[in-house]
Amino acid sequence: MSDIKNNNDDKKLMSFKFNLDPMLAHKRCNGEIVLEEKRLLVVIDKKIEKEINTSEISEIITEQGVGCLYISYRLKADDSVHLLCRTDAKTSKRTSKLVRKMNLFFEDGVLPEDVKETAEACPKCGRPYKNGSTVCLHCVDKKKTLIRLWKYVKPYKWFVFMSIVMYFVISALRLLNPHINKIIVDDYIQSETPASVNISAFAIVVVSLFVLEVVSRGMSSVRSHLLIHSSNKMIVDLRNALFDKVQRLSVSKISERTAGDLMRRITTDTAQVNNFLVNYLPSVLEQLTVFIAVGIFILLYDARLFLLVMLPTPFVVLSFRLFWKFMHTLFHKRWQAGSVANTTLHDIFSGIRVVKAYGMERREGERYEKVTRGEKILQEKTDCIWSIIMPILKFMMSFGEFIILYYVGNKILGGKMTLGEMSQFSAYASMIYGPLRMVAHIPRHVMNFMTSSTKIFEILDEEIDVSDAENAKSFDIVGDIDINNISFGYDSGKEVLHKIDVHIKKGEFIGLVGASGVGKSTLINLIMRMYDVDEGSITIDGVDIRDISQESLRSQMGVVLQETFLFSGTVYQNIAYAKEGATRDEVIKVSKLAGCHSFIMRLPDGYNTKVGERGNTLSGGEKQRIAIARALLHNPKILILDEATASLDTETEKQIQDALANLSKERTTIAIAHRLSTLRNANRLVVLDKGRVAEIGSHDELMAKEGIYYGLVMAQREMTDMSSLADN
In the three-class reduction of DSSP (H, G, I as helix; E, B as strand; rest coil), residue 543 is classed as strand
CA distances from 700 to 617, 623, 657, 705 (A): 41, 33, 19, 9
What's the burial of 617, exposed, middle or buried (CB within 10 Å: 0-12/13-18/19+)? middle
How far is it, in rounded angstroms, from Cα 76 to Cα 390? 69
How far is it, in rounded angstroms, from Cα 32 to Cα 16? 6
Phi and psi angles of residue 84, each rounded to the nearest 5 degrees, phi first: -95, -55
Please spell the DSSP secondary structure of 199-256, one letter per residue: HHHHHHHHHHHHHHHHHHHHHHHHHHHHHHHHHHHHHHHHHHHHHHHHHHS-HHHHHT
Beta carbons of 310 and 296 less than 8 angstroms apart: no
Q: Are strands 684-689 and 509-513 parallel, antiparallel or unpaired?
A: parallel
Q: Which residues of 620-653 are buried (b: 16+ CB within 10 A; e: fewer)?
A: ebbbbbbbbbbbbbbbbbbbbbbbbbbbbeeebb
Positions in the chain short of pLDDT 50? 1, 6-8, 115-118, 725-726, 728
Amino acid (one-letter) located at 514? G
Helices (H) and strands (E) in the chain, counts: 23, 18
pLDDT at site 114: 52
Amino acid (one-letter) located at 600? I
Residue ranges of the chain that CATH labels 3.40.50.300: 471-556+638-728, 561-635
CA atoms within 13 A of residue 698's CA, in its CB half-sphere: 5
pLDDT at site 539: 93
Amino acid (one-letter) located at 607? Y
Beta-bridged to residue 33, according to DSSP, are 16, 42
Residue ranges of the chain that CATH labels 2.30.29.30: 2-108
How far is it, in rounded angstroms, from Cα 329 to Cα 140? 13
pLDDT at site 435: 72
Beta carbons of 122 and 151 less than 8 angstroms apart: no
How far is it, in rounded angstroms, from Cα 546 to Cα 486? 13
What's the burial of 550, exposed, middle or buried (CB within 10 Å: 0-12/13-18/19+)? middle
Whether domain 561-635 has CATH 3.40.50.300: yes
Sign of the Cα pseudo-torsion (643, 647, 651, 655, in order): negative
pLDDT at site 157: 77
pLDDT at site 144: 76
The model carries a pTM of: 0.66
pLDDT at site 376: 81
pLDDT at site 540: 92
Domain 471-556+638-728 homologous superfamily, CATH: P-loop containing nucleotide triphosphate hydrolases (3.40.50.300)
> Reading across the β-sheet that carries 481-489, which strands appear in turn?
495-504, 481-489, 535-540, 543-544
Q: State how far Cα 224 lies from the chain centre.
A: 32
Residue ranges of the chain that CATH labels 1.20.1560.10: 142-460
Q: State how far Cα 256 lies from the chain centre.
A: 8
Q: Architecture of domain 2-108 in CATH?
A: Roll (2.30)
CA distances from 375 to 146, 267, 326, 382, 462 (A): 28, 19, 17, 11, 27
Phi and psi angles of residue 497, each rounded to the nearest 5 degrees, phi first: -125, 140
What's the burial of 410, exposed, middle or buried (CB within 10 Å: 0-12/13-18/19+)? exposed
CA distances from 252 to 255, 319, 342, 344 (A): 5, 45, 21, 21
Per residue, the 3-state secondary structure of 471-512, as one string, reads CCECCCCCCCEEEEEEEEECCCCCEEEEEEEEEECCCCEEEE
pLDDT at site 665: 65
How much is the CA Rg of the chain, to the nearest whole Å?
36
CA distances from 350 to 169, 345, 356, 370, 415 (A): 53, 8, 12, 19, 76
Q: Are strands 684-689 and 481-489 parallel, antiparallel or unpaired?
A: unpaired
Q: What is the CATH number of domain 142-460?
A: 1.20.1560.10
